[in-house]
Amino acid sequence: MPTGVALRDAREQLFAAAERVLLRDGPNALTSRAVTVEAGCAKGVLHRHFADFDAFLAELVRDRIARLDVQGAALRASAGTGTVVGILTAALGEVFGPLALGILGLVVARDALRARLRATTPVGLPLLTEAAAVIGSYLRSERELGRLEPDADVDTLALTLVGAGHMLFADRESAPPDHEAVRRMVSSVVAGAVREV
């Protein structure tokens, strides 16, 4: 008797299933069984493609980090357009979407997962560290364009924006903060760095 359906791209389908479980049920519900049931395949499919469940989760997080890199390229390309505050406000809304928050919860809850991710994120919290690097890169571009003060400490600004953004967005029990709350926070953080141009 068949135990599931054939998967054409098992890795991507398993990642998509894991993301659906994270979004619907949260990080605590993410198990190998929940993923394979959601994907409609046998549990052995996951173990044919990954050494164990923590290896699967590490690749899921790395996949999300790679998506953040794509968002970062678009963010850097937006330098010099709109307002710095407006661009950062929108960027933080993307960085801290529901899926990213679920993955952050997963990373925080699983010591073995964080240990595996140390190869790619040796310091800080995976995903948050990369988000700060992406935002820092954008801020450097704005500084080079003269839209930030020449002595603006973009790395500290990026860390502060990501830390404060995480605090605003992290509560899974209520709705995400409204756009105006995020904009106020961003305005406060970058107030001394943004130049009027």
One domain for residues 117 and 156: yes
Residue 107's nearest CA partner among 170, 27, 174 is 27
Low-confidence ranges of the chain (pLDDT < 50): 1-7
Residue 54 lies in a domain: no
Return the pLDDT at 170: 86
Residue 184: inside a domain: yes
Which domain, by its residues, includes 42?
1-49
| Residues 15, 92 within the same domain | no
Decide: helix, strand or coil at residue 50.
Answer: coil
User: What was the pLDDT predicted at 3?
Assistant: 46
Q: State the CATH number of the domain containing residue 147.
A: 1.10.357
What is the per-residue pLDDT for 4?
Answer: 46
Same domain, 24 and 115: no
CA 102 to chain centre: 9
Q: Domain containing 36 — which CATH number?
A: 1.10.10.60
pTM: predicted TM-score of the whole model, two decimal places: 0.86
Same domain, 35 and 130: no
> How many domains, in total, are found in the chain?
2
Contact assessment for residue 189 and residue 164, using Cβ atoms and an 8 Å cutoff = yes
pLDDT at 121: 85
pLDDT at 174: 73
How confident is the model at residue 196, as a pLDDT? Answer: 65
Residues 85 and 115 in one domain: yes
